[in-house]
Amino acid sequence: MSFIDILALLATGAGYTILVTLMCSATGMAVGLAIAMFHRLGSRQVSACLAVFTYVFRGIPVLVLLFIVFFGLPGMGIGVPPLVSMMLSLGLIAGAYLGEVFRGALDSVDGNEVLAAQAMGMSRMQVLLYIELPQMLRFSVPGMVNEFTTVLKYSPFAYTVGIPEVMKQAMALSAATLRGVEIYLAVGLVYFAIYKVLVTFVWALEKRYRVPGLTEH
């Protein structure tokens, strides 16, 4: 069995790794955006609740939360499928971090522009939609890339709930062939390839929507 064969076998698990990473990142984006928006529009009580959520979910280890959801909740009669368990653990934790990224980016939006938009007659929601969010997303690109990468690196936990992603394939292969060094080196290469594609895609998007003088320093 050549190194190429090993890579080819692992590639079958790469699809699941990508699926888990995308779903958890998407969950994180949705949650992070919601957090940032509610912070901006909501009352002080809402902000306090969100701060507690962020505090808790940034503090809890991914694996612990994953086990609570996947192994704990069924005990209370709530069965959660593996992928959904990943989204409710890794995804929510990513959301807590992304919420902070977005909040910081929102603070970089020039208050004078917000004032100008309100003076023009826009509602608070319109100001958020047309002025604050488009700038916030552009400011957030480095933080988002960072968080997506983190999600990718935590995706191997998916094997603990039975998702046949790259790590799971590698462990089976390694047990059968005892060629651990090559196999895990190949695993590293697969992750690196996924990472490269992900980052290239995000930066291509960033370039497509780049505005002169907005994000260059």
Interface map 105-144 toward other proteins (x if CB under 8 A): -----x-xx-xxxxxxxxx--x---xx--xx--x------
Minimal distance in Å, beta carbon 203 to other proteins? 18
3-class DSSP state for residue 109?
coil
Q: How far is the CB of 140 from other proteins (least distance, A)?
A: 13
The kind and range of the H/E element at 209 are none
Closer to other proteins by CB, 59 or 212: give it. Answer: 212
Binding mask 58-97 for other proteins (x = CB under 8 A): ----------------------------------------
Smallest distance from the beta carbon of 180 to other proteins, in angstroms? 50
The nearer residue to other proteins, 1 or 120, going by C-beta atoms, is 120
Q: Show contacts of 7-11: CB within 8 Å, 24+ apart.
A: 7/186, 7/189, 7/190, 9/169, 9/173, 10/166, 10/169, 10/170, 10/173, 10/183, 10/186, 10/187, 10/190, 11/190
Nearest alpha carbon to residue 127 among 114, 138, 139: 114
Interface positions, 182-211, toward other proteins (CB under 8 A):
211
Minimum CB–partner distance for residue 128 and other proteins (Å): 12
> Which one, of 178, 162, 176, lies nearest residue 67 by Cα?
162
Distance between CA atoms of residues 113 and 159, nearest Å:
48
Nearest distance from C-beta of residue 167 to other proteins, angstroms: 41
List residues binding other proteins (CB under 8 A): 110, 112-113, 115-123, 126, 130-131, 134-135, 138, 211-214
